[in-house]
Structure 1
Amino acid sequence: MDFGDILKDWEKNGEKKPKNKKETVRKSVKSEHPMESLLKQYAPDQEVVGSKKEDKPQINKVSREKMRRRKADSVLDLHGMTTEEARIALNRFIRRSYSTGARKILIIHGKGNHTKGEAVLKPLVRSILEMSPYIGDTGTPERRDGGSGATWAVVRQRSL
C-alpha cells in the first residue's frame, strides 16, 4: 500500500454521511463559530473596529553606537574606596540614577595599578552592573573618558 492509497482511504473514511436529519442540522449549526453569532448579535461600534492601533507614547530607541558616544549624565569616582565602600556607593548611585531618569552613567574605578596583584574594583563594578535590574548595556569608554579605568552603563528606563 503506497501513500496515494492511504490518502484515498483516509478521504473516504473522513467523509461520513449523516444518518438522519438531526445530524445534518447539527453540522450546519457547528459550521458557524460561536463567536460569529455573538458578533452578529452584539456588533461593536465602528470607532472600536477602526482603532486597532493603540496610542502608546513614542520611546526613542538609541543605538549602541550613539549611546557609546553620548556623554554620561552622572559620574561616580570610586578611587581610594575599599571593596565594601565601593559596593555601597555604586548600588546607591545606580538607584539614584534610575530614579532621576539618567540615561548613561560613568563609573571610574581605576586600572588597579597601585594594588598588589590584580585590580579589585573593576571586577566588582562589572559584577554589580551585570546583576543590577536597573542597568542595560555596559562598555569601556574612550581613552579621554577613562579608558580601561572606567565603565559606562545604560540605565534602563521606567515603564510607562
Structure 2
Amino acid sequence: MVASAGSARGTAPENSDGESGRKRSAASWASSDASRASMRANRSRDTGPELALRRAVHGRGMRYRVATRPIKELRRTADLVFTRAKVAVFLDGCFWHGCPEHHTVAVRNGAYWAAKVERNRARDTDTDQRLTEAGWVVVRVWEHEDPIEAAARVEAAVTEARRAD
C-alpha cells in the first residue's frame, strides 16, 4: 500500500511551491509566509519589557500574580495582578496598542493593522472601565517606559489601594 502525502508516515503535504511544510491558508491574515512566521513568534507574555518590569517590582519587595484574569468572568488577562489590593497592571506594546509616542504605521496590510490597533485600544478602554467598576485600580505601562519608574508607579498604586481598604 502506498502512503498518501500527510499520512501517518510523517510526511508533510507539499505546498503550492512544491516544498513540504504546512500549507498557508488562502484566508491567512499575513501578507507573506515570512510575516506569518514572524507574527506567530511574538510572545504574549514573558517579553523583555515585561520581565524588566517584573524584576523591578519584585526588587521593591512586592509579590504578584503573573498573566492572570483579575475578574474570572472577564476574559482579559493582566500582566501583573495584586489580588488583595485589587490592582491590575497591563504592559502595553507600542505597536499593538498605538503608543502616541512610538506607534508606527504598518507598510504592508496597513488597513488591517490600523483596524487591529483600534480594536485593541477599544478593548483596553473597555477593560479599564469594567475593572474600575468592579473596584480594581488599573495601571497601564508602555513598553518603552523605564521599568524602575514604572515599578514606582505600580508600588504607589498598590500602597494607595491597600490604604483605601
**Superposition TM-score tier, normalisation by shorter sequence:** under 0.3
Question: What TM-score results when the alignment is normalised by the length of structure 1?
Answer: 0.27
Larger radius of gyration: 1
- Greater fraction of residues in helix: 1
Question: What TM-score results when the alignment is normalised by the length of structure 2?
Answer: 0.27
